[in-house]
Amino acid sequence: MMNGLLDKYRYVLWDWNGTLLNDLWLALEIANAMLHRRGLPVMDEQRYREIFDFPVAEYYRRAGFDFDREPFPVLAEEFIGEFNRRVKECALHAGATEILEAIAQDGKRQAVLSASHQESLTATVALHGIRDHFDELQGLADNLAVSKEAAGHALLAAVAVDPTSVVLIGDTTHDYDVAVGLGVACILVADGHQAQSRLEATGVPVVSSLSALL
């Protein structure tokens, strides 16, 4: 049984990284290794969640990387290469499978809208055995993670749903911005890539974890 936040929606758009997939620890570990190799200060989890943002290039700048020495696309490829090599180490968030099943049993439809590269997204979702829950998996065509709003418009057109019946569930203020751009509702989950205080500033419902949706 769900807690009521999703009752009035018929279609759920899920963010992937940080929302369904528990990959914060891996993203932080890889970023700190990259910083360490360059003699730059590393981050703790609190600092990471305070500065992580979209476009991701802005987060890299805040973390201390110097784009005059190394262009962002080069740094992004280094990060993504290591992330893709190790992403199989990441589990789903606690309660993820249960909430997906509960939503399906309630007769709602679901899809994934992610800033991940399409190929990586498809492979990782399949790895966790939950592909059958989703009508579509919509990622991006590159690794630069600028914005997923255009991809969201393409997804809504593909599934042919009324935006007023849709809710986007994510873990960042970018998910909120995308939801506004798409004309859909938004719920944010506070155990992903951004601090709860940043999420609450959007004014939309914020839950502590996926399990809180049940």
**Confidence (pLDDT) at 146:** 58
**Confidence (pLDDT) at 141:** 77
Specify whether the CB–CB gap between 74 and 163 falls below 8 A: no
Which residues, 6 or more positions from 208, have their beta carbon under 8 angstroms from its beta carbon?
189, 190, 191, 196
Instruction: Name residue, tokens 């709602």.
Output: 108
Phi, psi of 49 (to 5 degrees): -70, -20
**Confidence (pLDDT) at 115:** 86
**Confidence (pLDDT) at 117:** 86
Q: Spell out the per-residue pLDDT of the chain, length 214, in tens.
A: 667 899 999 999 999 999 999 999 999 999 999 999 999 999 999 999 999 999 899 999 999 999 999 999 999 999 999 999 999 999 999 999 999 999 999 999 999 999 888 998 999 999 999 999 999 999 987 656 556 888 899 899 998 999 999 999 999 999 999 999 999 999 999 999 999 999 999 999 999 999 998 8
- Enter the tokens of residue 187: 């719920």
CA trace torsion 19, 173, 190, 132 (10° rounding): -20
Query: In what order do the strands lie in the sheet containing 11-14?
Result: 137-140, 109-117, 11-14, 166-170, 185-189, 206-207
- Enter the tokens of residue 78: 């280094």
**Confidence (pLDDT) at 109:** 96
User: Considering the domain 11-22+91-213 in this protein, what is its CATH number?
Assistant: 3.40.50.1000
Helix (H) or strand (E) holding 86: helix 72-86
